[in-house]
Amino acid sequence: MIKVIFFMNCRHFSINHNACIGLAALLVCVAVPLASCKRSPGKIRSLLPAIIAQRDAVYLEGNLPIIITVPHGGTASPDAIPDRDPACLGGISTGNDVATIDLAYDIVEAIKNISHGKSPHVIINNLSRSKIDQNRGWGEDCNPVKGRGGEAWTDFHDRFTGSIAINAVLNKFGKGLYIDLHGKPDNYGADVMVGYNLTSTALSYPDGTLNDPANGYAKKSSIRFLSMHVGDEIDFAELLRGNVSGHESFGSILQKGLDELNEDYTVVPRDNLKSPFPYLSGEYNIQAFCGVMNNTYGYTDSRFISGFQLEVCREIRDSDSLRKDFAQKVAEAVRTYLARHYHIEI
């Protein structure tokens, strides 16, 4: 059972009242067990993207200690929200991350298949990045702060992720894994990037430098509280790029899975990169939700959310078969990562 929670306001749509009521009825059908709907599960599944495309921000309720956000997958461009000025602050990104919503669905399905039907919490932005950047702060980079755009930012960040998903995970499990899902630029670096809010220069430093508390790298990272939680079991550098059995980073676990696909896809950071490399380290979402920025949620070494920004190349995202294969390897990596470092079995 997946619940779809949304802010339904018919004045936000350029459709008539009866059509809006029909959309609400269809969403209710999706929100209850599929056996009670007069549509096949496959039909409901195929309709979900179309339904979600009507909403600015949507939350799919989960029951696992996993939160996935998709900030740049939307394409909706309503006139009610002014365009962000591309020249803002000397230039901003307005391109969408193609097929990341599809990838999120595939990851959810793969996780359900290996966890006896359980689901992660998922928050999806359906607005184009030309209207809002849901990986930036309130008003940052010319983000809207009023009207429908401001409401969309609040729904995505404060309401669905911060108030609902994070609290649900902490109250049930005490700790959780956060993944901010993105599509990386073409022809830039490795095929998959795991961003920890650290530069590639920092990630190329020796283990001793990264592990030294005086240098503050763990405290700056999006796995800050996970590194505190595991303590002496595994050091911080190993959490970032370790490749020794039982001490692997998420990237190393995922790399082993991708190697099984025989497609030569590469993941960074990894243990054999000892010089700076092309890399996207992550932005607002991992900073805000993983306790890097002000520790808004009062995390401790036993009650926390830690995670990363996951950047995926377009070749994987654009192919239905490759995307599903990749999603399966992500699901398996998440299961292994949670078991080894969170001591949670799914």
Looking at residue 5, what is its pLDDT? Answer: 60
Residue 4 pLDDT class (50, 70, 90 cuts) = low
pLDDT digits (tens, 9 = 90+) for 24-49: 434 433 333 333 333 333 433 444 44
Higher pLDDT, 299 or 17: 299
What pLDDT does 107 receive?
98
Confidence of residue 8 (pLDDT cuts 50, 70, 90): very low
How is residue 37 annotated by DSSP?
A: S
Tell me the pLDDT band of 86, cut-offs 50, 70 and 90: confident
> Using CA of residue 84, residue 88, residue 90, residue 93, what is the dihedral sign?
negative
- Please count the residues of the chain: 346
Pairing mode of beta strands 175-183, 267-268: unpaired
Per residue in 166-207, pLDDT (tens digit) is: 999 999 999 999 999 999 999 999 999 999 999 999 999 999
pLDDT at 88: 87
Residue 184 phi/psi, 5° resolution? -75, 155
Q: What is the pLDDT of residue 39?
A: 33
Using the predicted structure, report yes or no on whether residue 2 has a pLDDT greater than 70. Answer: no
* pLDDT for residue 29: 36
Cα–Cα distances (Å) from 100 to 207, 295, 311, in that order, read: 33, 28, 10
Q: Among residues 277, 276, 266, 269, which one has the least CA distance to residue 250?
A: 269
- Note the maximum CA span of the chain: 64
Instruction: Check: CB of residue 292 under 8 Å from CB of residue 307.
Output: no
Q: Which of 83-97, 112-126, 159-173 has the lowest mean pLDDT?
A: 83-97
In this prediction, residue 3 has a pLDDT band, given cuts at 50, 70 and 90, of low
Q: What is the mean pLDDT of residues 62-90?
A: 94
pLDDT in tens, 120-164: 999 999 999 999 999 999 999 999 999 999 999 999 999 999 999
pLDDT at 209: 97
Give the start-to-end residue ranges of the domains of the chain: 1-39, 191-277+285-301+322-342
